[in-house]
Amino acid sequence: MRLKEEYSHNVDDYDDEDSETMSQISVGALQQQQLKNVVVVGYALTSKKIKSFLQPKLEGLARNKGILFVAIDQNRPLSDQGPFDIVLHKLTGKEWRQILEEYRRTHPEVTVLDPPDAIQHLHNRQSMLQCVADMNLSDSYGKVGVPRQLVIKRDASSIPDAVAKAGLTLPLVAKPLVADGSAKSHELSLAYDQYSLQKLEPPLVLQEFVNHGGVLFKVYIVGEAIKVVRRFSLPDVTKRELSKNAGVFRFPRVSCAAASADDADLDPSVAELPPRPLLERLAKELRRGLGLRLFNLDIIREHGTRDHFYVIDINYFPGKLNFYRISIMGAVLDLV
């Protein structure tokens, strides 16, 4: 790799206004300028992700660290571009996965963040949480599991019988089976009674709703770096409410940046973050089990307990969090 010493050129000569030009300049031109000893990160991101992640301040800070972000031209063969040290991506589609897999095969010296086949596991909520379920993590700091769940692929009329047979307890959270990052994939519903289950739209995953004080913890993981933030979530459901309410209540995306609970006046038993050693062990096991370096977890604490946690969702390369942007640079440096 090229970054084995301090960046020997004066990257401070470039200001933030040059960042767009620097992102688009070809690596060949950079070589002509003798900008060596640089880690070149080729990126293939959606326009939305570029806007939220690859901001001018980040690019400027990256240059000071000897890291150069270069846009991958999706209209040209990937093997004709570069050379790259790392390929950072968040695109979907079978064609793109095939391109990346072929590139990994022919360029084993390049680190791909992250392998497309590993990311694909997170696009299906049936397989998404299986790694956590198989782990059965429990130690002196707490226990981590997943809510009991049931996959329904078709025929909404069969859902009540399937739920009864599986022994799931109402209310149930219904989530789309496909988690592809679209707005629809983040929608969820809360079903209060057996009859209303027929109103749901397969394919979907049904999870037992676990009371958690209306707060969830988003755990951002970048390599070995971890950041935890609080977000407001669905409120608890009492037995009285369950007996009085019926129907399906639909919600848009529940946990988002606008719903931050970090500065809210919360019950300390609800607000207390999961123990750091527990999260570090969980992150380590998931990095190994999932084969991913950039992801986040949605975790809840069962209300009334201090150390019983559930992972309810896993997302790849999420968010606008500053920690995430900066920590990716640290992960990049660790890889070279």
- Point out the annotated binding site for Mg(2+): 298, 313, 315
Cα angle 177, 320, 126 (rounded to 5 degrees) comes to: 15
Choose among 160, 242, 152, 253: nearest CA to 203: 152
Residues annotated within a binding site for 1D-myo-inositol 1,3,4-trisphosphate: 49, 90, 186, 218, 315, 319
Report d(CA 121, CA 305) in Å as an integer: 31
Task: Find the helix packing angle between 56-64 and 322-335, rounded to 10°.
Answer: 30
How far is Cα of residue 192 from the mean position of the Cα atoms in its chain? 29
Q: In 10 A of CB 25, how many CB atoms?
A: 16
First to last CA, the chain: 6
Residues annotated within a binding site: 49, 90, 125, 175, 186, 207-218, 233, 298, 313, 315, 319
Report d(CA 266, CA 215) in Å as an integer: 9
Are the CB atoms for 323 and 290 separated by under 8 Å? no
Residues annotated within a binding site for ATP: 125, 175, 207-218, 233
Report d(CA 68, CA 65) in Å as an integer: 9
